Amino acid sequence: MPVFQPLSLFLPHTPQNQVMRSLEDYTPNEITALKSDQKEGFIHIIQPEPKTEDKNLEIRRKWINALNNQLHTPKKKTGVFWYKIKTQGLTFQGLIGACSALEFKKRTITQHEKVYEHRVQLMADYLETVRIQAEPVVVIHEEALDSKIDFIQIEKRTTVFDFQYEQTHHQMWELNRAEIEQVMHWSMHQPHFHLADGHHRVASMLHYSYQKQKTAPISCFLIHQSQLELHSFVWFLKTCKSKDDLDRLVEQIKLHQGKQIDLNAVESKRFEITIKVGKAYFGLEGTFSNPPVFINENLLDSLPQLAEALQYQPNPKQGVDSAKWEDFELAFFMKPISKAVLFDLARKGKNLPAKSTYILPKLLTGLFVSPIE
């Protein structure tokens, strides 16, 4: 069924001085600081300064210059790799390789979230000009990897890289030809994989493949389902244009047995869904197997302008930090859905609203740079 295959990569010369988290994780001030700290960092490639009229062309030019200046390996390294991340007592490990865009199109690799079409188009335009993937998507396998592959022995080999970045240890080893064939054979006997993180990147690669009439390989980090950590997003608005919309939302909350609460340490984690409207907090009790869908279909269905304006932010610690959200007019806090629900939805082809799940692990940008050819 899905085929996991070798991937071509350019690797940074000194990764600890060049890699970064996803660009959207940084504030403008943090981007400025990162550029100052990393004189040869990937940040200078994807966030060129001064900004030009055609930013994508400038990114492409800076990437070619980085290769010419040997900031990344001058030749592509093609293979399948065993990658291990150790951070804060957690270990994530899996395979770096590629899956064809066709696997996502025919749903042998399932997806569970909707995407924002305007963002997909922007990313597809970016890919057409820049022609690199700067970060793999995260893909899940349910069954254990082939037991014939001895990863203990693989980890005794010389590493492709071994470095620390932001209190996280990164190591990678290369599989030999026989091991790659075993991985490919094993993957073809799996009923499906699941896309965990990277729905917009996959959608933009599918769009790019359609435009070019050419199936592109998508850079992937393949991990076992046991490694997956599911969290949720906060959906919020700093200010709401319509006071009437907020009043109507409160009516909908009460209609669905939501009650106003005094927020404290216990109450902030008690409810499946907690909502801040103005200065008031409301809690919804019950067993919501799918809080994002409940919010969309029951609370926001009659308020499309409000729903469309919502912004989002990861909430890995769960609960509600009332001080942080004091100046926000609207915020939805929800407990994460379970893996069982996630996989069931994916198999049935039912998609959650965009930005419903925040999934760990997150990968570094600029560590695995894969060309789009």
Q: Write the pLDDT tens digit of every residue in 37-88.
A: 999 999 999 998 776 678 999 999 999 999 999 999 988 899 999 999 999 8
> Are residues 73 and 218 both part of a single domain?
yes
- What is the rounded CA–CA span in Å between residue 365 and residue 172? 16
Q: How confident is the model over 150-165, as pLDDT tens digits? A: 999 999 999 999 999 9
Q: Is residue 145 part of a domain?
A: yes
Q: How confident is the model over 335-365, as pLDDT tens digits? A: 888 888 888 888 888 888 888 888 889 999 9
Q: Is residue 202 part of a domain?
A: yes
- What is the rounded CA–CA span in Å between residue 27 and residue 130? 23
- When divided into structural domains, the chain yields a total of 2
Structural domain span for residue 105: 7-229+359-371
| Confidence bin at 127 (pLDDT 50/70/90) | very high
Amino acid code (one letter) for 209: S
User: What angle separates helix 199-212 from helix 117-130, to the nearest 10 degrees?
Assistant: 60
Structure tokens at 2: 């899905």
> Are residues 151 and 62 both part of a single domain?
yes
Per-residue model confidence (pLDDT) at position 265: 64
What number is the average pLDDT over the span 288-313? Answer: 91
- Which has the higher per-residue pLDDT, 241 or 136? 136
Per-residue model confidence (pLDDT) at position 339: 86
> Are residues 214 and 305 both part of a single domain?
no
What number is the average pLDDT over the span 317-343? Answer: 88
Considering only CA atoms, give the Rg of the chain. 22
Per-residue model confidence (pLDDT) at position 67: 95
| CATH number of the domain that residue 28 is part of | 3.90.1530.10
Per-residue model confidence (pLDDT) at position 161: 97
| Confidence bin at 226 (pLDDT 50/70/90) | very high
pTM metric for this prediction: 0.88
| CATH number of the domain that residue 256 is part of | 3.30.1760
Q: Is the pLDDT of residue 168 over 70?
A: yes
Q: How do strand 330-334 and strand 217-224 relate by DSSP bridges?
A: unpaired
Per-residue model confidence (pLDDT) at position 321: 82
Per-residue model confidence (pLDDT) at position 156: 98
